[in-house]
Amino acid sequence: MKLRLYVSSTIDIEIADSAMMVEKGHTLLLEIGSQEQSGCGMFLHPDDKIWNADVTVYIGGQYKSYLLLPLIL
């Protein structure tokens, strides 16, 4: 998908399957970036490419940003 500067776009991002238990009262952190993060061993790509980019997430009003997580109770 080619993006245009200063034009908001809707992008669906698939998050790799995982199983985590989060205890009551704890929180999750969603970090959005343009490069691999250290400590993600099995999810690192084999190349050494560095993605330089500015990331802007628009929220509220006309922008319907959300994170959908399945819960198993």
Does the pLDDT of residue 71 top 80, yes or no?
Answer: no
- Say if 9 falls within a structural domain: no
- Say if 27 falls within a structural domain: yes
The per-residue pLDDT for range 35-50, each reduced to its tens digit, is 666 655 565 666 666 6
- Say if 72 falls within a structural domain: yes
User: What's residue 63's pLDDT?
Assistant: 80
The total of structural domains in the chain comes to 1
Work out the end-to-end distance of the chain between its first and last CA atoms, rounded to an integer number of angstroms. Answer: 36
Share of the chain above pLDDT 70, in %: 64
The per-residue pLDDT for range 22-33, each reduced to its tens digit, is 888 998 887 777
- Say if 15 falls within a structural domain: no
Q: Which domain holds residue 28?
A: 21-73
- Say if 2 falls within a structural domain: no
More confident residue, 1 or 46: 1
Q: How far is CA 33 from CA 25, 36, 49, 51, 56, in A?
A: 26, 8, 14, 9, 9
CA 35 to chain centre: 11
